[in-house]
Structure 1
Amino acid sequence: MSQWKQIQQLEIRLLEHVDYLYDDNFPMDIRQGLASWIESQDWDTAATDESMAAVMFSNLLTQLDRVRLDEQNFLQRHNMKIIQQQLQVGQLHLTPPQVKVTTNSPKPKRSLHPGPLEKSLQSSVAFERQKNMDNRVGIIRGSVQLMDQAVKYIEDMQDDFDFRYKTLQSRDSTDRNSDMMKQEVTRLQEMLNRLDFKRKEILSKMDVVVKEIDDLMTSQLSPELQDWKRRQQIAAIGGPLLTGLEQLQGWFTLTAQSLFQIKRQLDKLGELVVKVTYECDPIPLQKPQLEERVKYLLYHLIKSSFVVEKQPCMPTHPQKPLIIKTGVQFTTKVRLLVKLPEVDYQLKVKTTFDKSRQFFILTNNTKVMDIEDYSNGCLSVEFRHLGLLSVTEELHSLSFEACFTVQGLTIDLETCSLPLVVISNVSQLPGGWASVMWYNLLTDEPRNLAFFGNPPRATWSQLSEVLSWQFSTFAGQGLNKDQLSMLGEKLLGQHASCSDYQVSWSKFSKENIPGKPFSFWMWLDSILELIKKHLLPVWNENYIMGFVSKETERTLLKDREPGTFLLRFSESHLGGITFTWVEHKDNGEVKFNSVEPYTKNRLSALPFADIIRDYKVISDGVVPENPLKFLYPDIPKDEAFGRLYNCQPIHPYIPSHLIPISVQ
């Protein structure tokens, strides 16, 4: 049974108290007519959430209008119209009184448990900022909906005035000096004054809301979009997973809806002026300026909402976007963050590759966003291009252009991808990826194609974080503090402990490591490839110390049990891993033995864990044995690697397998 029906069954003395609760601001007629709707709303939340209260008030007026139109009794319908007009004039945010005759059951508390990736992206400050944005957009939306009611109220007032005025005009001229006619003229003048006041009031409110939208776009919406674009750059080079585009689309769409609704309200006011106008009518004076501001805001809002959702990427290298190989297909996706159901034709997007250079799209460079794709707010396009041989530091750009008309506005859309690197051979891929990382780490400019003319330096703290992301992306696990410290020592030498030490682009990617025929990045990238293809199980168990130098290696092993070994990446070979074990001679001498590095060619034949298990050393007159006993610091070999060993198949033949052997 509804609360209102339960109230009606109360004793007379209690019903008198109920009557006392209701007044002219919220008559009992409204409670009676909207009982079911009122009792289904969350008024507790509306009492503390201004944006929700504004929307709920608008919904209340809509419900009241529905009930009024369904009402058969003429007098009751008239009373409801008066009540509705009073509510519109007062613009009250109401919490309708309800007599609670049953005990409220406790409401479950909402629990938010963001996943680990969300936690990495959303600090408490960011969450509060987004909540503030939600509230502000909601308040604006509610205010615009209230203005809809106000415009309708003005229209009703004007219809009443127009009817009375035309009735007066139709009367016989002999009656125009009668007292009744004078009273009617006075009443009409009062109505006109009231109409003028309401017109000025709605224009003033529109001005306030338009200024609020302008400030929202400038101070919050645009910075939020720029923040997303910056996070997109970071995500492209292995940083935290990119989120927030759907939220942005919601803000953009609601803001655009508010502006379009104001535009329709201004159109409606223009129609009213055609029917009734007078000297110093505020609508012809203020409407043109408001319309221009609304059009200006709509143009820039929609124009800025055209973004590259997915940066150009080859399907063969999904984790290395923004590198395009000549003759290889790549994909990219653009999205319009403002959903516009009014657009009922195909929106064509033209793509141009390097307007000023000699590259061209092999496939059709114009793609169509049809109505089905448009309902999702995004467009996906695939292209293939060919280019000349290019150095990996030369940057290129992919541009997207479209033009469409909506509600009388013609809007030119244009956006561009982040700078691309074009390669002609896969051997250029590591150098190209270094360029992509360096650019997106150190600048947020969307089209600085001359960046590598004078590339800025990176601090070690910046660079080390990006390097850790590479291992997390390609090898499943980032680098710990010790591993980063070892890398820093290899790249920076005596400056390894300085997190703010400036690393040049040349030192990172171009100059060879002293005494080696390769650069720091080429060495590190070869290790990433080795882990990805041959060492993932061992790497993800944290068994590879990795970047320890030979000197540090000996310091760590010298006091350990004989047969203690550790795994490290080769400093002399690209993409090689080796192990070193310690021996103790009878005379107290400590001996260190390092095996020739295993590269991808050798690891293609045997899994690395099996190499550890089966490794043998042969010397003159000595039975072959496995010298590897304990993984540093003191983990028994089989305990560490046992679950990674490759089990031998059961078959009727005598089993045979490859054994890695060193000869001393």
Structure 2
Amino acid sequence: MSQWKQVQQLEMRLLEQVDYLYDDNFPMDIRQGLAGWIESQDWDSAVNDESMASVLFTNLQTQLEKVRSQEQNFLQRHNMKIIQQQLQVTASPALFLVLHLRACRREKEVKSSSCSLEQGALEQSLQNSVAFERQKNMDNRVSIIRNSVQLMDQAVKNIEDMQDDFDFCYKTLQSRESADRTSEMIKQGITRLQEMLNRLDFKRKEILSKMDVVIKEIDDLMTSQLRPELQDWKRRQQIAAIGGPLLTGLEQLQSWFTLTAQSLFQIKRQLDKLGELVVKVTYESDPIPLQKPQMEERVKYLIYHLIKSSFVVEKQPCMPTHPQKPLIIKTGVQFTTKVRLLVKLPEVDYQLKVKTTFDKDLPAGRVSRQFFILTNNTKVMDIEDYSNGCLSVEFRHLQLKEKKYTNGTKGNEGLLSVTEELHSLSFEACFTVQGLAVDLETCSLPLVVISNVSQLPGGWASVMWYNLLTDEPRNLGFFGNPPRASWSQLSEVLSWQFSTFAGRGLNKEQLDMLGEKLLGQHASCGDYQVSWSKFAKENIPGKPFSFWMWLDSILELIKKHLLPVWNENFIMGFVSKEMERALLKDREPGTFLLRFSESHLGGITFTWVEHSDTGDVKFNSVEPYTKNRLSALPFADIIRDYKVISNGGVPENPLKFLYPDIPKDEAFGRLYNSQPSKVYPYIPSTLIPISELRSEASSTPRSCPSPEPPMTPGEFDMLSEHLCFDIDTMSSPYSE
């Protein structure tokens, strides 16, 4: 069974998670219509091959046209035509590839989470159970309130019928001619009217008492459950923004908000109806004039605050070019954001316009740079079918421009760096519903504004630190005195980065290695507090870069050049040089491991072990491969074709076993690039990574034979021609 069919069989709460994976850049219609074809393609191999990505993208468009031509449903065929046009205009092979891989990997995560006990995540299972019970309790309370309000509707109707009967009897008694108005008849009529009035008074007091109980129940529901649920969703939105679990629950929140609002609007109509009844029939100590005004004010207050709190940022500001790094905006680059009203409103008299403002009411001197929105900042909210009739609006083409100052300065120079300055995007709207004026306002999470892509890593560090450590929506002075993070908190976020950007998170051993890199002897203490400066600003001792810059460069290297090898779990990663030697020294000759360079930004190296006849151990490390070198050759092919020129002058591949003891070809065979099966008039050449062993590094001193004389230029040229390798790819074993 295909993965897509398995996903479609998940329960509704998990399907809601899948829904968030697809948007206009990667519509779900493509996933549905081409499920079999998509899952049969080698998308992973195309990550490092632009030409292959282009071919796959072109083939996808061909497949989509084929499916569209065979589609019998006119509406579906029309929708697919629009999707094809959008792909041709807006999409690129690289962007589509990233979105596709992200969606499919997240699909697997959602599918796997359908049975958390199979993953051994007992704690998560218990949390899910608690959340389910909380949701069930909320559903029950909302349902009980709705039923109570429906019953009150019938009670108000009964009171109206009783009042009509009383009014009829009263007027009938009044209209009798004087000849028919005997004292006994009048007495009986008055007695009957008094009994009817007593019952009417009892029913009026009863309905007002029930209304009071329901209003108090709604008030308590909003305070004790609905507001905390909304805050919990906003907190989970923060965590999802920095790579945490997928954000779900908005549809459920919307249902609770809408049902609660409907109950309040219905009570307001019931109170209005009671007010109409008082105009027709009232009496001394009538409870409606005494209690109705206060109850109306309470209902209006609850409606106002319910609607006001339901105005939320559904999608935080994000540049389409960096979908996995929201809340970072580059000047001059378009970004998107979306707001939604969680309450389905009765008909509004006019179009609801939302205006967005940058850094609204920002205190003077808070930031050194100021910006304004260059493009149209006002849009009208629309009703979305999938949101059950709720209003939303998406700003797709917002763009920032920095303000210029007439005196040539750039404003107040603060103590914070560009990537530590936090900004905010505000949204405002005003409308009237059923005579009640509501001012809506909400704001995005704090934003980092950059002017150059080189500031992106620093900006992302700020976004991670903020959203990890605070749930305040607008603490723009956060980095004036940033709090510390415990290593247990920080390590989880770092693992999320690898899961989001590289497809696989970090295991405990890798996190321990990272902790040792950052904390040294404190690495084993999960509660050890890490400062913001140590994480992102201070240089690693002896290195010209910070811990985060080093780690971010590794993430970029994996994403662009090492994904297949990383996802096979072949890269040990963060092992130190000392640990590396301890692991290899007792292994078979030719055993090697892959680790990230500690001295280069974005570099990967491999080290292999050799044993001499005398029992001495020798370790060889190759100069790190960076993105520039890996652009020429896939890393798996480098492992396959790597050669060294030993003292005998014969090139040979020293790499035999991937640590601990996996034969090299068994491990990497599936990742090798196969040679094209075409006939050429020339002998095909092969680019071979090659090293020359110039010295020996042994763990114990020993006598060394005299090295053979170096090759002459002529001999070297002949060997080069024979091996067909490019001298620019030569690397040398070295020690970091």
TM range (shorter): 0.7 to 0.9
- How far off is 1:19 after superposition? 54
Alpha carbons 1:361, 1:384 under 8 Å: kept: no
Alpha carbons 1:544, 1:566 under 8 Å: kept: yes
Alpha carbons 2:656, 2:663 under 8 Å: kept: yes
Alpha carbons 1:50, 1:139 under 8 Å: kept: no
Does residue 194 in structure 1 map to residue 206 in structure 2? no
- How far off is 1:174 after superposition? 3.1
**CA distance 1:55–1:522, shift in 2 (3 Å):** closer
- How far off is 1:596 after superposition? 0.4
- How far off is 1:353 after superposition? 0.2
**CA distance 1:436–1:121, shift in 2 (3 Å):** farther
Alpha carbons 2:486, 2:530 under 8 Å: kept: yes
Alpha carbons 1:253, 1:338 under 8 Å: kept: yes
**CA distance 1:14–1:531, shift in 2 (3 Å):** closer
Does residue 327 in structure 1 map to residue 332 in structure 2? yes
Determine the C-alpha separation between the residues in 1 that align with 2:23 and 2:354: 59
Alpha carbons 2:116, 2:125 under 8 Å: kept: no
- How far off is 1:28 after superposition? 53
Alpha carbons 2:431, 2:439 under 8 Å: kept: yes
- How far off is 1:178 after superposition? 3.9
Alpha carbons 1:51, 1:135 under 8 Å: kept: no
- How far off is 1:123 after superposition? 1.4
**CA distance 1:639–1:450, shift in 2 (3 Å):** same
Determine the C-alpha separation between the residues in 1 that align with 2:611 and 2:150: 85
Alpha carbons 2:430, 2:440 under 8 Å: kept: yes
Alignment-derived partner of residue 211 in structure 1: 216
Give identity over the alignment, percent. Answer: 90
Alpha carbons 1:401, 1:413 under 8 Å: kept: yes
**CA distance 1:54–1:319, shift in 2 (3 Å):** closer
- How far off is 1:452 after superposition? 0.2
**CA distance 1:589–1:22, shift in 2 (3 Å):** closer
- How far off is 1:173 after superposition? 2.3
TM-superposition CA deviations, 1:336-368 (whole Å, max 9, x none): 000113224210011000129731111111111
**CA distance 1:590–1:351, shift in 2 (3 Å):** same
- How far off is 1:370 after superposition? 3.6
**CA distance 1:264–1:451, shift in 2 (3 Å):** same
TM-superposition CA deviations, 1:245-288 (whole Å, max 9, x none): 00000000000000000000000000101111111110000000
**CA distance 1:230–1:43, shift in 2 (3 Å):** closer
* Superposition TM-score, scaled by structure 2 size: 0.73
* Superposition TM-score, scaled by structure 1 size: 0.80
Determine the C-alpha separation between the residues in 2 that align with 1:28 and 1:566: 41
**CA distance 1:88–1:453, shift in 2 (3 Å):** closer
**CA distance 1:486–1:16, shift in 2 (3 Å):** closer
- How far off is 1:35 after superposition? 47
**CA distance 1:462–1:564, shift in 2 (3 Å):** same
**CA distance 1:320–1:224, shift in 2 (3 Å):** same
Structure 1, 53-62 or 453-462: larger mean CA deviation: 53-62
Alpha carbons 1:237, 1:437 under 8 Å: kept: yes
**CA distance 1:265–1:55, shift in 2 (3 Å):** farther
Alpha carbons 1:51, 1:142 under 8 Å: kept: no
- How far off is 1:175 after superposition? 2.6
**CA distance 1:397–1:113, shift in 2 (3 Å):** same
Structure 1, 46-55 or 531-540: larger mean CA deviation: 46-55
Determine the C-alpha separation between the residues in 2 that align with 1:325 and 1:130: 39
Determine the C-alpha separation between the residues in 2 that align with 1:139 and 1:293: 20
Structure 1, 473-482 or 114-123: larger mean CA deviation: 114-123
Determine the C-alpha separation between the residues in 1 that align with 2:495 and 2:79: 71
Determine the C-alpha separation between the residues in 2 that align with 1:125 and 1:509: 36
**CA distance 1:229–1:198, shift in 2 (3 Å):** same
Structure 1, 63-72 or 648-657: larger mean CA deviation: 63-72
Structure 1, 139-148 or 181-190: larger mean CA deviation: 181-190
TM-superposition CA deviations, 1:130-178 (whole Å, max 9, x none): 0000000000000000000000000111111111111111101233334
**CA distance 1:28–1:275, shift in 2 (3 Å):** farther
SS at match of 2:113: coil
Alpha carbons 2:46, 2:52 under 8 Å: kept: yes
TM-superposition CA deviations, 1:467-490 (whole Å, max 9, x none): 000000000000000000000000
- How far off is 1:196 after superposition? 0.3
- How far off is 1:199 after superposition? 0.2
**CA distance 1:154–1:24, shift in 2 (3 Å):** farther
Q: Which has the larger radius of gyration?
A: 1
Count of matched residue pairs: 647
Determine the C-alpha separation between the residues in 2 that align with 1:499 and 1:132: 35
**CA distance 1:28–1:392, shift in 2 (3 Å):** closer
**CA distance 1:509–1:497, shift in 2 (3 Å):** same
Alpha carbons 2:550, 2:601 under 8 Å: kept: yes
Determine the C-alpha separation between the residues in 2 that align with 1:343 and 1:24: 28
- How far off is 1:225 after superposition? 0.3
Structure 1, 166-175 or 414-423: larger mean CA deviation: 166-175
Structure 1, 509-518 or 373-382: larger mean CA deviation: 373-382
- How far off is 1:377 after superposition? 5.6
Alpha carbons 2:516, 2:523 under 8 Å: kept: yes
**CA distance 1:6–1:163, shift in 2 (3 Å):** farther
**CA distance 1:25–1:510, shift in 2 (3 Å):** closer
Alpha carbons 2:346, 2:433 under 8 Å: kept: no
**CA distance 1:648–1:72, shift in 2 (3 Å):** closer
TM-superposition CA deviations, 1:92-112 (whole Å, max 9, x none): 999xxxxxxxxxxxx999999
**CA distance 1:187–1:58, shift in 2 (3 Å):** farther
Alignment-derived partner of residue 40 in structure 1: 40
Determine the C-alpha separation between the residues in 2 that align with 1:24 and 1:18: 15
Alpha carbons 2:554, 2:601 under 8 Å: kept: yes
- How far off is 1:443 after superposition? 0.3
- How far off is 1:654 after superposition? 2.0
Structure 1, 16-25 or 336-345: larger mean CA deviation: 16-25
Determine the C-alpha separation between the residues in 1 that align with 2:177 and 2:45: 59
Alpha carbons 1:30, 1:64 under 8 Å: kept: yes
Alignment-derived partner of residue 370 in structure 1: 382
- How far off is 1:516 after superposition? 0.3
- How far off is 1:188 after superposition? 1.1
Alpha carbons 2:425, 2:443 under 8 Å: kept: yes
Determine the C-alpha separation between the residues in 2 that align with 1:656 and 1:406: 75
**CA distance 1:120–1:311, shift in 2 (3 Å):** farther
- How far off is 1:586 after superposition? 1.1
**CA distance 1:524–1:49, shift in 2 (3 Å):** closer
Structure 1, 603-612 or 362-371: larger mean CA deviation: 362-371
Can you give the 5+ residue segments of structure 1 that lack an aligned partner in the other structure? 95-106
**CA distance 1:404–1:169, shift in 2 (3 Å):** same
SS at match of 1:29: helix
- How far off is 1:183 after superposition? 1.6
Alpha carbons 1:51, 1:138 under 8 Å: kept: no
**CA distance 1:172–1:354, shift in 2 (3 Å):** same
TM-superposition CA deviations, 1:439-482 (whole Å, max 9, x none): 00000000000000000000000000000000000000000000
**CA distance 1:404–1:564, shift in 2 (3 Å):** same
Alignment-derived partner of residue 246 in structure 2: 241
Alignment-derived partner of residue 521 in structure 1: 548
Alignment-derived partner of residue 10 in structure 1: 10
Determine the C-alpha separation between the residues in 2 that align with 1:450 and 1:619: 60
**CA distance 1:4–1:541, shift in 2 (3 Å):** closer
SS at match of 1:579: strand
Structure 1, 339-348 or 110-119: larger mean CA deviation: 110-119
SS at match of 1:573: coil
TM-superposition CA deviations, 1:590-644 (whole Å, max 9, x none): 0000000000001000000000000000134332110000000000000000000
Alpha carbons 1:54, 1:143 under 8 Å: kept: no
Determine the C-alpha separation between the residues in 2 that align with 1:655 and 1:88: 37
SS at match of 1:21: coil
**CA distance 1:307–1:589, shift in 2 (3 Å):** same
**CA distance 1:417–1:110, shift in 2 (3 Å):** closer
Alpha carbons 2:383, 2:389 under 8 Å: kept: no
- How far off is 1:5 after superposition? 44
Determine the C-alpha separation between the residues in 2 that align with 1:323 and 1:27: 24
TM-superposition CA deviations, 1:280-301 (whole Å, max 9, x none): 1100000000000000000000
Determine the C-alpha separation between the residues in 2 that align with 1:175 and 1:55: 101
- How far off is 1:587 after superposition? 1.3
- How far off is 1:427 after superposition? 0.2
Determine the C-alpha separation between the residues in 1 that align with 2:167 and 2:603: 91
